[in-house]
Chain A
């Protein structure tokens, strides 16, 4: 039994998530995303690897979509409408509601704005969505007789879910993007402790995942305001369902229909959400969204920044954006320009590397936006400007997601109100905005999840190879779980659980549940010695109750295998049990016995002159309990019992089990008749050798 895992996308990269997993003959495609960075064939997963003949309906049993981001769903209309997949597609209700909006938006952007050839039409999206079966969180869905799937709350964005899939005895979880720390908007991922053969987890999702939640928070002025809004209280009260409304509101900006849904709640609580303010926030969002949406997911980071920046300049503040010379800052600058145009803003935007930003402008009155290097405020121009602007509450400084320890940027991030610079203290009063959370996290969230689920195997996807390597190492060394990070179009095969099925009789089940107490005298000998004051009487008693299931598996021709209790087997066979026992009449020198039990026990010693049964047994118990580390010695007065080992004083003159000769003559020898069953032979022999004062450790 094995699980086959073909990575079609997001293997050692971020983008176009798509993994095809085969479990016990059932084939599931998890996510069907597109890569935003490409315009050619690399944009979509290489579906031809699933089926040479492109007969996808027979090749795949179902598709599971974790959430509505394009890198997880972007290729879906293409796969269903162009490639012709007609089977079931599962996603959560919010994803089902938001996916078509997201896809349609993307299509529009491609065609209307970039002027590119569309890969799928609006009709394709609509047709594709008809094939979707919406599922509720935690709902166990029986895809067919053998395949079962279940969605768990992932917390990443609204409707994001991790999916559990089970075929026969083999089970796995595919996480998609998730969020392990609860934040202001969405809770942390919630999943049951499952028995898993495989966990496929996204590695690099922090950057994107936090943006959405972030965005929403920024719609309100402060977190407190956000929390106070009954909107959210209500969301908490009626659970995750209301989440859609919040995001539908966010995402559906170009789509007024979705607002109707949100209205249901808003009208109820309109008194608490201040209308005028609300409207203004919406304007902010709308403009920002339309300028950002065409670059889709990755740029949503910028979406937040634009709003924050706008707010600051609207209040007359200056904005410092320390930036690396290339990359995101440029993109952000373009977006900001676009936004400025839409909102008809006249506040100047400077880019220190391009414009020759005059130092005199630093202290010029009025708002402005300045991009300056270096990014982490390690020195240079950005630091210089920082010194001037930081003391004013009106100003804003945005920080990159990641700042090296020791840099000013890092200090600011940790919330230091005063910064010491070249001997002068700077009172930092300006607003600080962190661009995004670092993708260079320690992977704590992933580690937590892996630890919690403790699967047999982990596969890491959706991350760059060098970054994943450390985590892979940690999972293997710290958790002892096998882990791999296959590249695109690689296939991984891992063994999976399989159980042998049999019917179990009631007697067997009952016998398994019987308590099996074992009393162990405190851990080990050394312990009791080191715990100096522990005397014999006060030694802590360890009680173990490890129930052992013992039975007999019976395989009759043409009948189902059955597990029975051994007594039942005899009944089935119509036979009677024949027990095989051992017996031995063991001679023990009473003097030795007395010597062994310390001199302090004079009263007992005296009693020995007139030996009676119980005192002899008591002496023996004392001796054995010192010498034996295992077994629970029970003293019944007349006899002694350890497991099946039964011992009593033998007063017969000629016992048939008294085999060794010559001892009868010795003075002061007592005889103990012992019997035991074959199962406890080892233990019995130990006891006997202890009694006969032979070496306890068998040679």
Chain B
């Protein structure tokens, strides 16, 4: 078994990407896009012509002189999308299975599926696939706007891609565009046909549903709690279970909680919840040691509700800031980032508005919002306990249903929708894509509000705010940055693993310094780092074989005294089915179940042989001298009675030569009596 980390990713929107080689199959975990790289491209510039003139005259200045970045440093072209670079080092046709853990991990899929030779089976949870598809469609839709502005791409590849142009980029941007080692940026935006094609190759799963790949691997998804449909994976085969833990959240206010009980008892854990690396907190080492085995305590420490309370407080804070802004006459722009958080924010803001008896419209401007909102209200199976209760008590799963009905929330597909123009009212609160501030309606709204010091822009911490707002400078709008949980907190890692009881855990290299496992004896730990293949020892020495009772009842045991072994010959048809090896009776029990052993060992002794032969009424004489020089231990028995025949015994082989069938078989019996066999 081999494991290669292709990319450790970065945060919620750019999950890690790995390849695992198990039972001869290559399994790719996630296929994300690094959308933060979009920031090197300029959105529709407010003063386009001015910029062009400036560029022509100042091109000398730009070279090599490092000065603070300004909007003109950005690339003025239709953006390219940054996929996982190391993935291109692999031949796509060798990938057998793709497992997608979240909608974000799916965005790079069309880039992969459109490559020639791609034939892997893609597994995604039903909800993640649906939401991911909506996200892709939205991305394409927004990219179209770019294309309309910059025109269709030249056939020779974009101008900015030329090396001399890239050299001119300020170093900060160059790093984003090219990566640390200067390799290229992913590719152009896929079209809707690519997405359709990609989706058609997807097999959707529900939580806990077993998918069987090639009869050998059983693949199951279990909720990770990170976002709606986001999951962890369990791959089980005849030689053990492997759990892949992506960013996981113990108590979510929207998605179904992290189902860690399902992962319990896995032999190997591929730990890929890397979000906690970003937080610098160190953990209190004393709180856990191996002898702390109080089960309940462990469980409690995992599922305390501090986290969800904390998350709710963050939401409340955003809401109160938003209320303050609108009270001051400004508008609020909240780029849509995480689906779950977005839905919760909608509910919360509405509550806050009610409390402060404000009548400010909330607009959602997105080409897919309508469908997304309708869809999220029909999927109780994918949501947290509290939301499921709403189904059972007859309430809508999310409050947005009611809010839309009451006309507190207005949903429009685009900024230029006629209905929006008729409805528009400021101040207002707007939710719209895209969080990179390079695509979608946010661009237009930012241009409108960037000068208003009463207005508020809400960004996530993961976004480089400085770079993100660069094209909109000077900006007097307030910017609020907040962070949400993208995975487990570091201090929960050890108690979790204690509960999961794996044999081996794979951690990122960076964890060596943060989390020490020196005092843990129940499992062993390996560390992986980006783009380095590590070999994982076999989890089990032998595969489990199930032998049908019909076969087992016919066993003829043979006791080997010297080794204290019982052995029996086994014959049947092997079935590899649903990850199991089964030995079933043969179709036609032909050939009158031969009881004769086929495998012999031991060294025959001439006296013994003669004695055995005479017992059967066969008489012969031993001749020691052999013509063959090689056979030193050899001897020959010449039989005269009852019929002329010969037994030639050498070190590793005995040759019986007899014309009569019956005589021959009697001699064989005699041989078997003095040899061990099965």
Residue numbers of A with Cβ under 8 A of B are 93, 96-97, 100, 129, 134, 136-142, 169, 234, 238-239, 241-242, 245, 252, 255, 257-258, 260-261, 263-265, 267-268, 497-506, 509, 512-513, 546-557, 562-563, 566, 569-570, 572-573, 575-585, 656-657, 659-661, 675, 677-679, 681, 685
Contact = CB atoms under 8 A, between A and B. Distances in A.
Contacts of A500: 546-549, 551-552
Contacts of B388: 93, 134
Nearest to A265: B374
Contacts of A546: 573, 587
B661 A659 contact: no
Contacts of A504: 238, 542-545, 581
Given A498-B549, A659-B659, A137 B206 contact: yes
Given A263-B396, A497-B549, A576 B652 contact: yes
Contact of A241 (B379, B551, B675): B379
Interface of B: 126, 130, 206-210, 220, 238, 262, 370, 374-375, 377-381, 388, 391-397, 401-402, 404-405, 540-549, 551-552, 555, 557, 560, 563-574, 581-583, 586-587, 594, 596, 598-604, 644-646, 648, 651-659, 661, 664-665, 668, 671-672, 675-676, 678
Closest 4 CB pairs of A and B: A257-B394, A503-B542, A499-B546, A139-B208
Q: Which of A245, A499, A585, A661 has the most CB of B within 10 A?
A: A499
Given A241-B378, A268-B370, A556 B569 contact: no
A563 B570 contact: yes
B544 A566 contact: no
A581 B656 contact: yes
A267 B546 contact: no
18 contacts: A136-B207, A139-B208, A140-B210, A238-B378, A239-B126, A257-B395, A260-B401, A263-B401, A499-B548, A501-B544, A548-B586, A552-B678, A553-B570, A555-B567, A556-B565, A569-B567, A661-B644, A677-B598
B569 A550 contact: yes
Contact of A547 (B544, B574, B657, B661): B574
Contact of B676 (A141, A499, A575, A679): A575
Contact of A578 (B377, B555, B675): B675
A577 B542 contact: no
B399 to A, nearest CB: 11
A678 B549 contact: no
A554 B564 CA distance: 10
Contacts of A268: 370, 374
Nearest to A234: B374
A209 to B, nearest CB: 24
A260 B396 contact: yes
B656 A573 contact: no
A566 B599 contact: yes
Contact of B601 (A142, A169, A573): A573
B549 A583 contact: no
B643 to A, nearest CB: 8
Q: Determine the main DSSP class of A at the interface with B.
A: mixed
A245 B391 CA distance: 11
Nearest to A142: B262
Given A242-B378, A581-B654, A566 B570 contact: no
A258 B555 CA distance: 62
Nearest to A264: B377
A584 B657 contact: yes
A562 B542 contact: yes
Contact of A555 (B541, B566, B656): B566
B562 to A, nearest CB: 9
Contacts of B567: 552-555, 569
A93 B644 CA distance: 83
A557 B599 CA distance: 23
Contact of B582 (A139, A499, A503, A575): A499
Q: Which of A499, A569, A580 has the most CB of B within 10 A?
A: A580
Nearest to A261: B396
Nearest to B591: A682
A657 B379 contact: no
A566 B677 CA distance: 11
Contact of A264 (B378, B563, B564): B378
Given A138-B206, A550-B571, A578 B657 contact: no
Contact of B545 (A239, A267, A563, A679): A563
Nearest to B588: A546
A551 B570 contact: yes
A659 B602 contact: no
A274 B308 CA distance: 43
Contacts of B599: 552, 566, 569-570, 577
A24 to B, nearest CB: 14
Contact of A582 (B130, B582, B600, B656): B656
Nearest to A99: B392
Contact of A506 (B543, B560, B676, B678): B543
Given A140-B209, A263-B405, A549 B583 contact: yes
Contacts of B397: 261
A557 B646 contact: no
Contacts of A548: 571-573, 586
Contacts of A659: 644-646, 657-659
B564 A556 contact: yes
B644 A255 contact: no
A21 B412 CA distance: 55
B655 A260 contact: no
B600 A566 contact: no
A554 B566 contact: yes
Nearest to A658: B657
Contact of A679 (B572, B574, B598): B598
A546 B391 CA distance: 54
Q: Which of A261, A572, A679 has the most CB of B within 10 A?
A: A261
Contacts of A264: 374, 377-378, 396, 401
A572 B377 CA distance: 62
Contacts of B393: 257
Given A585-B657, A661-B644, 9 more contacts: A241-B381, A258-B394, A264-B374, A264-B378, A550-B570, A552-B567, A575-B676, A580-B675, A659-B645
A88 to B, nearest CB: 14
A136 B208 contact: yes
Given A141-B208, A261-B396, A577-B601, A678 B570 contact: no
Contacts of A660: 659
B206 A139 contact: yes
B84 to A, nearest CB: 30
A580 B668 contact: yes
Given A238-B378, A581-B654, A552 B568 contact: yes
A512 B541 contact: no
A241 B376 CA distance: 11
A503 B646 contact: no
Contacts of B395: 257, 260-261
A413 B587 CA distance: 48
A589 B412 CA distance: 98
B545 A656 contact: no
A397 B565 CA distance: 81
Nearest to B208: A139
A140 B657 contact: no
Contacts of B396: 260-261, 263-264
Given A503-B541, A573-B563, A549 B601 contact: no
B240 to A, nearest CB: 12
Nearest to B404: A267
Nearest to B573: A549
B570 A576 contact: no
Contacts of B401: 260, 263-264, 267
Contacts of B665: 681
B381 A140 contact: no
A549 B575 CA distance: 10
A504 B570 CA distance: 12
Contact of A657 (B130, B380, B657, B671): B657
A7 B178 CA distance: 70
A582 B655 contact: yes
